[in-house]
Structure 1
Amino acid sequence: MMNVFAEAPQGIQTAPHDPRIVAAGYQVAVREVDLSQVRDKESLMLAFLRGLALTESFGRNWDALYDVLTDPDARPARFALVLCDYGHFRRRQRQLGAELEQVLLGAQRDAAAQGRALWLLAEEPVTDPRHW
């Protein structure tokens, strides 16, 4: 499999196995956002609040999320967002998922325009019984 961090970010990509270990070799900071408990926009914003270690002052809306992802002072120049349970989230929350994707892809384009890199990595839970 191609190493995702060897290339410029392109949309929402499949997370490598052990993304933190792989990212470390490329000086990429990693944060995980767990989408498995998201039921609505409020719980989605809470998942990002936790995953990005944001303060309670985080506005919990699309503009605020976009801002924290594109703020050069808040994020390293090489940053990966691992979206845990992303596929299931998209199937459960089609409308919310589509809105989130627009914000994430917009932030990724904005970062690239600033000469920064924002990887968006979808990670699925391990369902293979051999891992139990």
Structure 2
Amino acid sequence: MNKAMPDINNGIVDGDNEYNEAVELVNNKNFYKSMEKAESAGDNYNKSKNRLLEIRGNFSSEVNSVHKDYINTLIDEVEYKLKAVDLLKEAIECFEVNSNYTGSNYGFEANDAMNQAVEYQNQRDMIVRDNQNLFKQSFGI
């Protein structure tokens, strides 16, 4: 689990950066580049999610409940980030054809999904903070 966490962390951080860039590009009406960034963010989140699901699928009886909660919370976080990406891509497609009202609605939904992801991220941070003795420095994201 500890060996995989740096790669998972990098995928999430890269996905977050690309998602934020995609939003900025949408706001600047650069829809083509925004879609590229959104797709790349989704790819990074999916890679991290797949690694997390692999870790969860290989839990042994030695894995304690705190680590299980951490991984499950992180999976929930990434799933909401993926939902935000999908909604952002829907928004981009609408803006490209000047369906601005519908695009804005998708954009608001994407923001809501990302806000939910941040709530899971805060829960995950709290798990680490409350159980520092169970987490090595390299484990945290």
TM-score (structure 2 length as normaliser): 0.32
Structure (1/2) with the larger strand percentage: 1
| TM-score normalized with structure 1 length | 0.34
Structure with higher Rg: it is: 2
Where relative contact order (Cα < 8 A, 6+ residues apart) is larger, the structure is 1
